[in-house]
């Protein structure tokens, strides 16, 4: 016993010594901010009148697709590039190679992705561990939020509960308190960062508590383990800590789903609300309600509902022709095929590919009927959607695969899946918020075009 305690103390001391020589995330960020601020200053002073693109009627009536009107560079989607998305220049396979994993794990973890998104740099292993420790130390939920979510009816959708819990956490916002006492604009980002890290740290405990309240009769969760990474804690708090494969899967899913350019509905909502100088809790709570829509984050729930209905209807008759017929039935009833299509991408979503590769590396997943159905649907759906002729992108997005793996591992409550997406998207949306404050970006306020006036006069319609 004594030997174990000594060796544990020695290992803690080693970690502390290593951490002492490692820069914190805040220190690393502080180093990169001035150069970006200078760039923006020059951009405004010297290039304000440069024309970046035309605004066409199709942009105005087409949900602003393709309209370059936001400043964001942590991730870029390129519909024409094979890799589809890059995080500060790194593709998903690059990230899988370069970003530190959890001890004993292989997949990217949320902390290393967060570090990359915020600083543009690949963190060292020591820096990643230090961030894991920092988040775990901040990971406990305040009692007032525990009481609030425990008091919600289990029939309230888990996403609604998550949004309520996150909004309530603004009770502790250091940004809001500092703003009330009067702070310099140049310091906004520091308080914002503090709130963002506290929020990311608490999301696993909040999301897991909602899971246990809704699906496990409020069974008590273990305490946050200070030695685990964010997602390691999340699965443990939900009650799936013993399933290492599920934890690895969620590490990958949560990291690669964290940011998808700044204009997606959830990240953009956080940006818009944040531009009013609302604190990060309020901004991200609003983002979660955008994520709760079926065309956005709710799609992973919808995919599974749709897949299971197909499985039930087809029984053992899972042939390409039967899947094709089912797809046509869905389309002819005026519904979208969930998990297919994308606002920007025009090829198979690289996140879908990465999740498929995860399945391919595990024989038990390959044997799962639900995952086999995902694969078979992928072989047929792009052809059907092309023939249908409406969608600009007949290929699968990440949600075509994400829920089915969770289902196989026993996390079968698919109404909950968007909550996991909500834990993930915080990485990108909150990074964007920190940078908006660091760059002093203004209140967002687009101008409206009136169909009855400007467009009519100009085009005579």
* DSSP per-residue codes, 18-38: HHHTS--HHHHHHHHHHHHHH
Residue 299 engages ligand CMX in binding (rule: CB under 6 A): yes
**349 noted as active-site residue:** no
| Cβ 127 vs Cβ 28: under 8 Å | yes
Using DSSP, state whether 291 is helix, strand or coil.
helix
Q: Which is nearer to ligand CMX, 132 or 424 (CB)?
A: 424
What the block records as the tokens of 268 is: 């953009």
Q: Which stretch binds ligand CMX (CB under 6 A): 149-157, 179-187, 388-396, 437-445?
A: 388-396
| Cβ 235 vs Cβ 219: under 8 Å | no
**342 noted as active-site residue:** yes
| Cβ 286 vs Cβ 274: under 8 Å | no
Residue from the set 13, 171, 226, 390 that interacts with ligand CMX by CB under 6 A? 390
Q: Pick the catalytic residue from 260, 279, 399, 408.
A: 399
Q: Which is nearer to ligand CMX, 55 or 295 (CB)?
A: 295
Q: Which is nearer to ligand CMX, 26 or 346 (CB)?
A: 346
| Cβ 210 vs Cβ 161: under 8 Å | yes
Using DSSP, state whether 86 is helix, strand or coil.
strand
Residue 392 engages ligand CMX in binding (rule: CB under 6 A): yes
**296 noted as active-site residue:** yes
Residue 403 engages ligand CMX in binding (rule: CB under 6 A): no
The residue among 219, 188, 223 whose CA lies nearest residue 204 is: 223
Binding residues for ligand CMX, rule CB under 6 A, total 19
DSSP code of 186? G
Give CA–CA dist 366/200, Å, rounded. Answer: 33
Q: Which is nearer to ligand CMX, 58 or 357 (CB)?
A: 58
Using DSSP, state whether 225 is helix, strand or coil.
coil
Residue facing ligand CMX at closest CB distance: 341
Using DSSP, state whether 393 is helix, strand or coil.
coil
Residue 8 engages ligand CMX in binding (rule: CB under 6 A): no
Q: Which is nearer to ligand CMX, 158 or 341 (CB)?
A: 341
Q: Which is nearer to ligand CMX, 77 or 148 (CB)?
A: 77
Q: Which stretch binds ligand CMX (CB under 6 A): 23-31, 34-42, 370-378, 390-398?
A: 390-398
The least distance separating ligand CMX from the CB of residue 393, rounded to whole angstroms, comes to 6
Residue holding tokens 């994520």? Answer: 291
Binding residues among 319-348 for ligand CMX as defined by CB under 6 A: 331, 336-343
Residue from the set 96, 173, 377, 397 that interacts with ligand CMX by CB under 6 A? 397
Q: Pick the catalytic residue from 342, 349, 388, 408.
A: 342
Cα 26–28–34 angle (5° rounding)? Answer: 95
What are all long-range contacts of 230-233, with beta carbons under 8 Å and residues at least 24 apart? 230/109, 230/110, 230/111, 230/132, 230/135, 230/136, 230/139, 230/200, 230/201, 230/204, 230/254, 231/102, 231/109, 231/110, 231/204, 232/102, 233/136, 233/139, 233/204, 233/205
Residue 280 engages ligand CMX in binding (rule: CB under 6 A): no
Residue 391 engages ligand CMX in binding (rule: CB under 6 A): yes
Q: Which is nearer to ligand CMX, 224 or 323 (CB)?
A: 323
The least distance separating ligand CMX from the CB of residue 136, rounded to whole angstroms, comes to 28
Residue from the set 399, 407, 417, 435 that interacts with ligand CMX by CB under 6 A? 399
The least distance separating ligand CMX from the CB of residue 446, rounded to whole angstroms, comes to 19
- Residues marked active site are found at 296, 342, 399
State the residues that interact with ligand CMX by CB under 6 A.
Answer: 295-296, 299, 331, 336-343, 390-393, 397-399
């Amino acid at each position: 016993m004594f030997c174990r305690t000594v060796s544990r103390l020695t290992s803690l001391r080693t970690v502390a010594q290593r951490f002492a020589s490692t820069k914190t995330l805040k220190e690393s960020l502080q180093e990169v901010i001035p150069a970006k601020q200078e760039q923006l200053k020059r951009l405004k002073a010297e290039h304000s009148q440069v024309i970046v693109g035309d605004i066409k009627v199709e942009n105005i009536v087409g949900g602003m697709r393709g309209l370059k009107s936001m400043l964001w560079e942590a991730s870029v989607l390129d519909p024409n590039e094979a890799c589809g998305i890059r995080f500060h220049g790194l593709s998903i396979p690059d990230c899988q190679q370069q970003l530190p994993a959890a001890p004993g794990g292989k997949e990217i973890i949320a902390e290393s992705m967060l570090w990359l998104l915020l600083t543009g740099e690949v963190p060292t292993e020591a820096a990643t561990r230090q961030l894991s420790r920092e988040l775990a130390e901040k990971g406990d939920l305040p009692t007032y939020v525990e009481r609030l979510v425990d008091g919600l009816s289990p029939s309230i959708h888990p996403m609604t509960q998550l949004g309520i819990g996150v909004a309530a956490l603004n009770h502790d916002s250091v940004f809001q308190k500092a703003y009330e006492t009067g702070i310099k604009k140049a310091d906004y980002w520091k308080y914002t960062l503090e709130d963002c890290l506290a929020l990311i740290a608490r999301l696993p405990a909040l999301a897991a508590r909602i899971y246990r309240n809704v699906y496990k009769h409020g069974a008590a969760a273990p305490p946050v383990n200070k030695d685990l990474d964010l997602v390691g804690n999340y699965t443990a708090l939900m009650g799936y800590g013993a399933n290492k494969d599920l934890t690895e899967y969620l590490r990958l899913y949560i990291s690669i789903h964290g940011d998808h350019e700044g204009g997606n509905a959830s990240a953009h909502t956080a940006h818009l609300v944040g531009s009013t100088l609302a604190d990060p809790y309020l901004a991200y709570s609003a983002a979660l309600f955008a994520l709760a829509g079926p065309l956005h984050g709710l799609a992973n729930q919808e995919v599974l509902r749709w897949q299971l209905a197909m499985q039930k209807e087809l029984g053992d008759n899972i042939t390409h022709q039967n899947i094709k017929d089912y797809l046509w039935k869905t389309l002819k009833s005026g519904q979208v095929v969930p998990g297919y299509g994308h606002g920007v991408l025009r090829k198979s979503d690289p996140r879908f590919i990465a999740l498929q590769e995860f399945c391919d590396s595990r024989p038990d997943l390959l044997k799962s009927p639900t995952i086999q159905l995902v694969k078979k649907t992928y072989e047929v759906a792009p052809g059907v959607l092309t023939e249908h002729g409406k969608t600009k992108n007949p290929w699968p997005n990440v949600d075509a695969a994400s829920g089915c793996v969770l289902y196989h591992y026993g996390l079968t409550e698919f109404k909950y899946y968007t909550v996991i997406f909500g834990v993930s998207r915080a990485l990108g949306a909150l990074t964007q918020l920190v940078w908006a404050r660091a760059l002093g970006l203004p209140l967002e306020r687009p101008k409206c075009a009136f169909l009855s006036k400007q467009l009519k006069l100009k085009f005579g319609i």
